[in-house]
Structure 1
Amino acid sequence: MTKTSIQFKYVQKSFGDNLVIPDLSFTVQEGEFVTILGSSGSGKTTLLKMVNGLLKPSAGEILIGGKKLADQDLVNLRRHIGYVVQQIGLFPHMTIAQNIGVVPKMLNWPHEKIVSRVTELLQLVQLDPDSFADRYPSQLSGGQQQRVGVARALATNPPYVLFDEPFGALDALTRLELQREIKRIHDSLANKTFLFVTHDINEALFLGQRVMVMHDGQIEQFATPEEVVTHPATAFVKELLGTVQQNEQLWGRAHD
């Protein structure tokens, strides 16, 4: 029997007089990898920030693990939600091992447990612990730093991991490599719910077990990649898919 992981019920979000999200309701099941696709201003990052309480809804209700977000200790909740952003935000004066161990140290884990967890996570993101643990962020490439960002987000073995366009600043080849890596990591971890925000339709379709297509603060379609491609629910989704088809046509002409 599937368990509900994240649920929005009639959620609204305004910034002053600007209604960004008029009415949002959806359910994500435990262990799902959901990609949230939309252009700038679609509300996708606002949605993500409401999940971990960085933003409060103006109306409606959010449930995390079956409990109302409004009733939870947000500091404690955030320590159990992994968060990966485009800017990464590694501490430059700390080694890679220290960066990954930041939250476990805050939670007073024993030193030996932190060292063991750091080693395990570096192996998970395919960075050799012997080579990388004692380096500093400035000694790593952008792709390697982003791997460390993922490892840090997983440090306390959180049930939820949020990704806010984490690969947007990377070159195309590195981005493709990390997409495959993050998919492999999700497949290897039990019952981890991933929410992944992107404006790249190919990334959304490749990564997501389900894809939430957003536009003007509303869900245009929330379905499997196959269903989105074969049965686009709205004119907007159809238009989005048209950009992929246009690229395929360009490639086709280039190789004729």
Structure 2
Amino acid sequence: MVAKQTVLEFQHVVKKYGSQVILPDLSFTVREGEFITILGSSGSGKTTTLKLINHLIEPTQGKILLKGQDSQALDLIALRRQMGYVVQSIGLFPHMTVAENIATVPKLLKWSSPKIEQRVKELLELVQLDPEKYQKRYPRQLSGGQQQRVGVARALAANPEFVLFDEPFGAIDALTRLELQKQLKTIHQSLGQKTFLLVTHDIAEAFYLGDRVMIMHEGKIEAFDKPQKIIQNPPTPFVQNLMATVKAEQKMWEGLE
């Protein structure tokens, strides 16, 4: 089996705001087609890490390589167009229909109208929203879960190599959240070569979705491995405590059965 190429690499990345150090020295690699989840509590540096990838913020020191190229040397607009971005607040344009929202980047790229229409239809079907029923609706006419599906479709519209998710399901009720997690995992598997990176503070979400899970604490990586390996052999005291918390919760639920 041929090893997949490294498509993202952080080399000793430091992020500071004045004297406040958010990331003291961050290094890791991501391979093509992986689904990476970044788990951590508030202030762990997980969202900062995600925003550094598409240069919403810039590193203080170190390098971020995309397919071996220094991302700071790349054209910023071109870089962001190869990266879909999904956030918790969704950020759909309220004055645009679902179809118009999804078509935003393809229109900027001057795709033809038939190509855009076909792409909108494909993506609505991918996120399990009937194009005939939903493409002419406005965001206010959708549930929170439906809006988030449109957000995912919009992020995938221009066929990006990377899709970044920042707590995408954090504001959605538990049952809808579970359904969207299952759907997102299926979407990733069906797309094959797309690289997904998702930030979350939800342990179950991180371990369910991630091919590998990066656990961050105070700007440092405490673990970065396959979920089962972390569960079987937590590498640091912080991760050991985290796993103990999960086991304690499981016992509590078992006790209620």
Please name the residue that 2:249 is paired with.
247
Please name the residue that 2:63 is paired with.
61
Following superposition of structure 1 onto structure 2, how do residues 98-177 of structure 1 map, counting pairs within 5 Å?
Answer: 98-177=100-179
Amino acid paired to 1:245: K
The runs of 5 or more residues in structure 2 that have no matched partner are none
Q: Distance in 1 between matches of 2:133 and 2:143?
A: 14
| Structure 2 residue 12 is the aligned partner of structure 1 residue 10 | yes
Q: Distance in 2 between matches of 1:251 and 1:210?
A: 26
| Structure 2 residue 253 is the aligned partner of structure 1 residue 220 | no
Q: Distance in 1 between matches of 2:191 and 2:255?
A: 41
1:63 is displaced (CA, Å) by: 0.4
Please name the residue that 2:195 is paired with.
193
1:196 is displaced (CA, Å) by: 0.5
Q: Distance in 2 between matches of 1:132 and 1:66?
A: 40
| Structure 2 residue 256 is the aligned partner of structure 1 residue 237 | no
Deviation string, structure 1 residues 76-113 (Cα, Å, up to 9, x no partner): 11011000000000000000000000000011100110
Please name the residue that 1:33 is paired with.
35
| Structure 2 residue 81 is the aligned partner of structure 1 residue 79 | yes
Deviation string, structure 1 residues 124-152 (Cα, Å, up to 9, x no partner): 00000000000000000000000000000
- Matched pairs, number: 255
Q: Distance in 2 between matches of 1:231 and 1:217?
A: 22
Q: Distance in 2 between matches of 1:235 and 1:200?
A: 19
- Pick one of 10, 32, 42 that aligns with 2:44: 42
The runs of 5 or more residues in structure 1 that have no matched partner are none
1:10 is displaced (CA, Å) by: 0.5
Residue identity (%): 60
Amino acid paired to 1:218: K
Please name the residue that 2:98 is paired with.
96
Q: Distance in 1 between matches of 2:86 and 2:244?
A: 30
Normalising by the residue count of structure 1, what TM-score does the alignment of the two structures yield?
Answer: 0.99
Tell me which stretches of 4 or more aligned residues in structure 1 moved more than 4 Å: none
Q: Secondary structure at the match of 2:96?
A: coil
Q: Secondary structure at the match of 1:56?
A: coil
1:67 is displaced (CA, Å) by: 1.0
Q: Distance in 1 between matches of 2:82 and 2:182?
A: 24
Q: Distance in 1 between matches of 2:169 and 2:44?
A: 19
Q: Distance in 2 between matches of 1:240 and 1:104?
A: 42
Q: Distance in 2 between matches of 1:195 and 1:178?
A: 16
Normalising by the residue count of structure 2, what TM-score does the alignment of the two structures yield?
Answer: 0.98
Please name the residue that 1:210 is paired with.
212
Q: Distance in 2 between matches of 1:179 and 1:242?
A: 24
Q: Distance in 2 between matches of 1:47 and 1:157?
A: 23
Q: Distance in 1 between matches of 2:92 and 2:176?
A: 19
Q: Distance in 2 between matches of 1:242 and 1:103?
A: 44
Q: Secondary structure at the match of 2:86?
A: strand
